[in-house]
């Protein structure tokens, strides 16, 4: 009986907290690297859903081009509208900092997601996977493709995408330090600006330059499926594998016909959902920027604040031919 009472009280308390949190209506603005990419559209959907649960207004805005200056202009425009919080995925972590710093000085909360900004330009960073977690995930996928190891190459968006470059750096390190990854030898890094045709050309040229290449790893959700396509085009299915970050819909056919074995990603809509919650809690003061601080984000569960305000979502989804049918995004 006592236990039931305790549970009831806790529930009531949590419920009232949620109610209090949802009391004030905030305006949340989400600005991705660029619009028009499924991945970011899904993040927006999640963000909007969270905002609805919290009773906030949600605006999705941004430029359709992957251009640094356009994102800065977009952010300046957002700041001028005096939102309560800005949720942003940065193309270039330092270039977007000035308008964000201005925003923070005006009392606007800044939450970065997917791709971080300069640390002093934002209050929190919702990282989909810790950089190390993502690096390990991609290498694990590569191991599924080619357990015997071999030469690997990386395709990233650009040298200034912080997450891609961090992944590559850590992956390179891991192949030197950890026993199970030592079978891999990184030979090259190329850039494809998140463009599909360029990714294919780059992948093909890579396979030409390194005839013993085994795996092409890409942190960019545009380049990973493109690399798979390139392998198919050039007729090296089964000799070279592609892996990395990709939306399930874009690599479903490759997993089904057996040309590829594993990819991974996190659920973008859940990432966006979490970002909205973080923004809201930052606004109403219930979220403190202290290492170790725990909070609950709606239906996603509990999260802990890490170093420098980084919150890791950390729930990777691995796609293999066996489970690909479960996912429809």
205 binds another protein, rule: CB under 8 A? yes
Q: How far apart are CA 207 and CA 189, in angstroms?
A: 12
| Helix, strand or coil, per DSSP, at residue 160 | coil
Q: Which range binds another protein by CB under 8 A, 17-25, 50-58, 208-216, 286-294?
A: 208-216
Name the burial class of residue 8, with classes exposed (0-12), middle (13-18) and buried (19+) by CB atoms within 10 angstroms of its CB.
Answer: exposed
Q: How far is the CB of 171 from another protein (least distance, A)?
A: 18
Residue 179 interacts with another protein (CB under 8 A)?
Answer: no
Q: Given the complex with another protein, which of 116 and 143 has the nearer CB atom?
A: 116
Closer Cβ to another protein, 230 or 312, answer by number? 230
* Choice from 7, 211, 308, 318 touching another protein (CB under 8 A): 211
Rule CB under 8 A: choose which of 202, 240, 262, 279 binds another protein. 202
DSSP conformation letters of 42-102: HHHHHHHHHHHHHT-EEEE---SS--HHHHHHHHHHHHHT--SEEEE--SSTTTTHHHHHH
Minimum distance from CB of 34 to another protein (Å)? 8
Binding to another protein by residue 140, rule CB under 8 A?
no
**Choice from 183, 234, 300, 317 touching another protein (CB under 8 A):** 234
Question: Cα separation of 166 and 326, whole Å?
Answer: 30
How far apart CA 93 and CA 248 sit, in angstroms, is: 28
Distance CA 300, CA 296 (A): 7
Q: Does 188 bind another protein (CB under 8 A)?
A: yes
Angle at 47 between CA 77 and CA 72, to 5 degrees: 25
Interacting stretch for another protein, rule CB under 8 A, among 138-146, 183-191, 300-308, 315-323?
183-191
Task: Provide the total of helices (H) and of strands (E) in the chain, helices listed first.
Answer: 10, 14
Helical axes 248-256 vs 223-234, angle rounded to 10°: 30
- How many residues touch another protein under the rule CB under 8 A: the total is 65
Residue of 21, 28, 37, 51 that binds another protein (CB under 8 A): 37
- Map the footprint of another protein across residues 104-123, applying CB under 8 A: none
Binder among 48, 50, 74, 219 for another protein (CB under 8 A): 74
Is residue 252 near another protein by the rule CB under 8 A? yes
- 3-state class of 169 per DSSP? helix
Residue 311: strand pairing partners: 126, 305
Q: Note the residues at the interface with another protein (CB under 8 A).
A: 34-38, 40-41, 59, 61-70, 72-74, 76-77, 80-82, 92, 94-95, 97-98, 158-160, 188, 190-191, 195-197, 200-202, 204-206, 208-209, 211, 222, 225-226, 229, 232-235, 247, 249-254, 256
């Amino acid at each position: 009986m006592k236990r039931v009472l305790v549970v009831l009280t806790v529930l009531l308390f949590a419920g009232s907290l949620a109610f209090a949190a949802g009391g004030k209506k905030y305006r949340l603005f989400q600005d991705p690297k660029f619009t028009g990419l499924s991945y970011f559209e899904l993040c927006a959907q999640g963000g909007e859903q969270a905002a609805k649960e919290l009773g906030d207004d949600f605006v999705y805005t941004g430029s359709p081009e992957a251009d640094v200056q356009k994102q800065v202009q977009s952010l300046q425009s957002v700041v001028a509208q005096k939102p309560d919080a800005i949720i942003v995925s940065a193309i270039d972590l330092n270039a977007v900092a000035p308008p964000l710093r201005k925003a923070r000085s005006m009392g606007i909360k800044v939450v970065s997601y997917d791709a971080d900004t300069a640390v002093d330009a934002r209050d929190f960073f919702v990282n989909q996977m810790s950089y190390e977690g993502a690096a390990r995930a991609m290498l694990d996928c590569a191991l599924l493709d080619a357990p015997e190891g071999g030469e690997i190459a990386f395709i990233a968006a650009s040298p200034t995408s912080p997450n891609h470059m961090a992944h590559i750096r850590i992956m390179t390190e891991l192949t030197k330090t950890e026993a199970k990854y030592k079978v891999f030898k990184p030979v090259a890094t190329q850039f494809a600006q998140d463009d599909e045709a360029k990714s294919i050309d780059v992948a093909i040229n890579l396979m030409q330059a390194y005839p013993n290449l085994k795996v092409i790893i890409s942190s960019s959700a545009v380049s990973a499926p493109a690399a798979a396509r390139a392998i198919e085009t050039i007729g090296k299915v089964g000799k070279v594998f592609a892996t990395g970050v990709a939306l399930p819909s874009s690599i479903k056919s490759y997993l089904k016909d057996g040309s590829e074995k594993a990819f991974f990603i996190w659920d973008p809509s859940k990432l966006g959902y979490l970002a909205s919650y973080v923004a809201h809690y930052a606004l109403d003061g219930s979220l403190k920027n202290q290492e170790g601080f725990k909070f609950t984000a709606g239906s996603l569960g509990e999260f802990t604040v890490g170093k420098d305000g980084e919150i890791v979502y950390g729930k990777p989804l691995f796609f293999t031919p066996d489970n690909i049918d479960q996912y429809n995004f």
